[in-house]
Amino acid sequence: MNKRPRRLRYNPLIRDLVRETTLSLSDLIYPLFIIEGYQIKEEISSLKGVYRYSLDTLEEEIHEIVQLGIKYVLLFGIPKDKDNKGSEAYNEHGIIQKAIRKIKSITDKLYVITDVCMCEYTAHGHCGILNGEGYVDNEKSLFYLGRIAVSHAQAGADMIAPSDMMDGRVAYMRRELDDHGFTHIPIMSYSAKYASSFYGPFREAAGSAPQFGDRKSYQMDYCNGNEALREVQLDIEEGADIVMIKPALAYLDIIRRVKDEFNIPIAAYNVSGEYAMLKLAIEQGLLDEKVIMETLLGIKRAGADIIITYFAKMIAKELNG
C-alpha cells in the first residue's frame, strides 16, 4: 500500500475543495450601540473602531452596513434616564424601540435582533429587579423582562436575545410573545453566559457596570462546563430557537460540547474584551490583522454556527476584497 501523503495543501484550488470550515457574512451578527441625543458618533475608547450612535447619525452607519453586505445586527441601547425598574427598557418611545423603527424605515435588508436585559437601564446596573436585600428578584424580574421583549417585538424587532440570565425567562418571554401575537419571533438565548472579566469594555460602552457587587449570582462560574449543558438543555426545553455561549475564546470547549450534545443552532459571542485584545495588538503592530480570520474560524471550527462580533465590518471588507 502506498502511504505517501497526498500533498493536498500545495495547491490553492484543492485547498478550497477540501476546506472543512468557512466563514461568510451569513454567519456574522454585528453589535450596535445606540444612545439618546443628537449628532453623536463617539468612538468607545475601550473598543477602537466601535461607536455609539444617536438616532440621526445611525442612518449613515446603517447604509454602510447594508452596503458591506452585513445582514444581522444586535442592538444595545443607552438610555438617558435610569431607574430601579429600568423602565426605559420597555418604554414604547425608549431608545431601542425608536432605533428599531428607525432602522426598519431605512432598510428592509437588515435583520434586527435586540438584546433583552436590564443592566443598561437600571440605576443599580444589575440585570434584573432587586429585592429589599439587594439581591436580584428572579420572579419580579421576569415580569419586566417579558414587557421588554414584547415592546421590542411591537417596535418591529425580528428576533429577541435575552441576556439577563434569570431562571425561566425563555419560557416566560416565549409565552408573552405568543400571547401578544408574536409567535413568529424567534428567541436567541444567552444560555451559557459566564460571569466574565472579558465584558469590561462593553460595560464602559453601555454604561452598565453594576454599582455594587457582581453578577455571580446569575451568571455562570467559569470553573463549570457540565452546568453549561444543563443551562442549554433548559433553554431548549423552554423554547429557545438558538442558544448562545458567551464569551467565545476561553469557552471553545463549551461550544464543542454543546455542538456534540444538541441539535440546535449555536451562536458564540466574541465579546468586547476579546475584540479589544486583538485590536490593540494589531494596532501596536504585534500581530497581523490575519489573526482575526484565524480567531473567528477557530470559533466556527469549535462548533459555532453564528458569531456575534465587533469585527464584522472588518471581515466584510476583507471578504468583499
102 classed as catalytic = no
Question: 184 or 273, CB closer to ligand PBG?
Answer: 273
193 classed as catalytic = yes
The cell for 315 is 471581515
Distance CA 133, CA 154 (A): 34
Q: Which of 33, 121, 194, 202 binds ligand PBG (CB under 6 A)?
A: 202
163 near ligand PBG (CB under 6 A): yes
The angle, 0 to 180 degrees and rounded to 10, between the axes of the packed helices 272-283 and 290-302 is 150
272 near ligand PBG (CB under 6 A): yes
The cell for 227 is 452546568
Q: Which of 117, 149, 243, 245 binds ligand PBG (CB under 6 A)?
A: 117
Q: Which of 48, 203, 256, 259 binds ligand PBG (CB under 6 A)?
A: 203
Distance CA 281, CA 308 (A): 20
The cell for 74 is 444586535
52: enclosing H helix or E strand: strand 47-53
Piece in contact with ligand PBG (CB under 6 A), picked from 20-28, 114-122, 250-258, 284-292: 114-122
119 near ligand PBG (CB under 6 A): yes
Minimum distance of ligand PBG from residue 1's CB (angstroms): 52
Among the options 82, 85, 98, 193, which is catalytic? 193
On whether the CB atoms of residues 235 and 189 are closer than 8 A, the answer is yes
Question: 117 or 187, CB closer to ligand PBG?
Answer: 117
In angstroms, how far is the first alpha carbon of the chain from the final one?
Answer: 44
Piece in contact with ligand PBG (CB under 6 A), picked from 34-42, 175-183, 201-209, 285-293: 201-209
How many residues bind ligand PBG, per CB under 6 A? 11
Piece in contact with ligand PBG (CB under 6 A), picked from 99-107, 147-155, 200-208, 291-299: 200-208
The answer for residues whose C-beta is within 8 angstroms of residue 93's C-beta and 6 or more apart is none
Minimum distance of ligand PBG from residue 185's CB (angstroms): 19
Q: Which of 199, 218, 251, 311 binds ligand PBG (CB under 6 A)?
A: 199
The cell for 14 is 484543492
The amino acid present at 238, given as its one-letter code, is: E
144 near ligand PBG (CB under 6 A): no
On whether the CB atoms of residues 202 and 219 are closer than 8 A, the answer is no
Q: How far is CA 166 from the centre of its chain?
A: 17
Task: Measure the CA angle with vertex 80, ends 74 and 84; round to 5°.
Answer: 90
Enzyme catalytic residues? 193, 246
Q: Where along the sequence are the contacts to ligand PBG (CB under 6 A)?
A: 115, 117, 119, 127, 163, 199, 202-203, 208, 271-272
